[in-house]
Amino acid sequence: MRVSLKDVAERAGVSIKTVSNVVNNYQHVTPGMRARVQAAIDELGYRPNMTARHLRKGRTGILALAVPELGNPYFAELAGAVIDVAAEHDLTVLLDHTGGEREREVLVSQGFRAGVIDGLILSPLELEVEDLRGREDDVPLVLLGEREYDLPYDHIAIDNVAAARTAVRHLLGRGRTHIAYLGARTDSANRPAHLRLAGWRAELTEAGVPAPDSLIGPTGGWDRGDGAEAMARMLDAGVRPDAVFAYNDLVAIGAMRVLHERGLRVPWDVAVVGFDDIAEGRFGAVSLTTVSPDKRSIARLAVESLLRTLENRAEEPEGRELVAEFRLVERESTLGRR
């Protein structure tokens, strides 16, 4: 049988209102009374009815997270972080993936789960400004990633240009001067691949190191196979870099496989840096140096942004730009084994 507030109140010898005040963490309860009620809660194993609590606020207690691909380890790890942070606020997270398709991203952003969720965290790839400008759904929305929308929705990203420059600076510091970039795209600009390419080019230019187009490896996607194909094409064209900066860890892992097959040693012949700090990169035969976005910070900023909007629904949304931190994690693919 479920333990009720009444049961706790009787055990503690207080009113139901006092128990409710303790459960909801109201500040005007004296420390002694709070300890007394908490002891009764612990003894009886009382658990608040979160569904009823959310319904009293006119909410469902459910957030949604939509990402391009749950099979991508970065998004899987980010989803885990969002779920953990949401749980701290007694919230459940509904996961969806869009395949990076504009039609699906529009559908998700326009409230196809209206009435089910309290807020949406969306990481779009193809969504355009006009897709959101006429948005009628009033479910709070937070955008992740590097697209700039100039709309009244909070937007969370890392500084991709600065992160790419940090990666390239590390390679330059290791004495590399023929640094390739794998993961370039030819579609519209101002997306992560272009920003990371811009950072690669800017750091090389500032250092006075050539950045010819022959060192830029386009990819159709950003998986292991895409990295392997781009690396193979570059080598087959007679281009021999002494280092590779990859759009993400998956592209880097694919490139490292081809380098191994061609008899090139990482990092002695070719040093490699990835991006995302996925678990797979830590446990290969050669562990991967990588740019590590603070996924926990991204998740916390996203969840707390939605909660802030929910608590201030009467206010005009601001559309803040929130920047998460990153760091370079140095491993064997640039340092060698120690």
Q: Would 279 be classed as within a structural domain?
A: yes
What is the pLDDT confidence band of residue 54, given thresholds at 50, 70 and 90?
very low
Nearest to 290 by CA among 95, 77, 70: 77
**Structure letter (DSSP) for residue 188:** S
Q: Tell me the pLDDT tens digit for each residue of 248-286.
A: 999 999 999 999 999 999 999 999 999 999 999 999 999
What is the pLDDT confidence band of residue 173, given thresholds at 50, 70 and 90?
very high
Within this chain, do residues 211 and 115 fall inside the same structural domain, yes or no? Answer: no
- DSSP, collapsed to helix, strand or coil, labels residue 274 as strand
Q: Which residues of 159-169 are buried (b: 16+ CB within 10 A; e: fewer)?
A: bbbebbbbbbb
Q: Are strands 289-293 and 326-329 parallel, antiparallel or unpaired?
A: antiparallel
Amino acid at 299: A
Within this chain, do residues 174 and 273 fall inside the same structural domain, yes or no? Answer: yes
- The CA distance from 85 to 139, in Å, is 20
What is the pLDDT confidence band of residue 307, given thresholds at 50, 70 and 90?
very high
What is the pLDDT confidence band of residue 10, given thresholds at 50, 70 and 90?
confident
Within this chain, do residues 261 and 172 fall inside the same structural domain, yes or no? Answer: yes
Q: Say what the pLDDT of residue 53 is.
A: 52
Q: Say what the pLDDT of residue 190 is.
A: 47
For the chain, the C-alpha Rg in angstroms (whole number) is: 25
What is the pLDDT confidence band of residue 40, given thresholds at 50, 70 and 90?
confident
Q: Would 189 be classed as within a structural domain?
A: yes
Tokens of 295: 């996924």
Nearest to 218 by CA among 204, 231, 201, 209: 231
Within this chain, do residues 287 and 223 fall inside the same structural domain, yes or no? Answer: yes
Structural domain count, the chain: 3
- The CA distance from 281 to 246, in Å, is 13
Within this chain, do residues 170 and 285 fall inside the same structural domain, yes or no? Answer: yes
Q: Say what the pLDDT of residue 55 is.
A: 47
Nearest to 288 by CA among 298, 279, 301, 297: 279
Question: Domain of 42?
Answer: 5-48
Q: Say what the pLDDT of residue 135 is.
A: 79
Q: What is the CATH number of the domain that holds 42?
A: 1.10.260.40
Q: Would 334 be classed as within a structural domain?
A: no
- The CA distance from 122 to 109, in Å, is 8
Within this chain, do residues 11 and 33 fall inside the same structural domain, yes or no? Answer: yes
Q: Tell me the pLDDT tens digit for each residue of 179-201.
A: 999 998 766 554 678 899 999 99
Within this chain, do residues 222 and 244 fall inside the same structural domain, yes or no? Answer: yes
Instruction: Decide which of 264 and 151 is more confident.
Output: 264
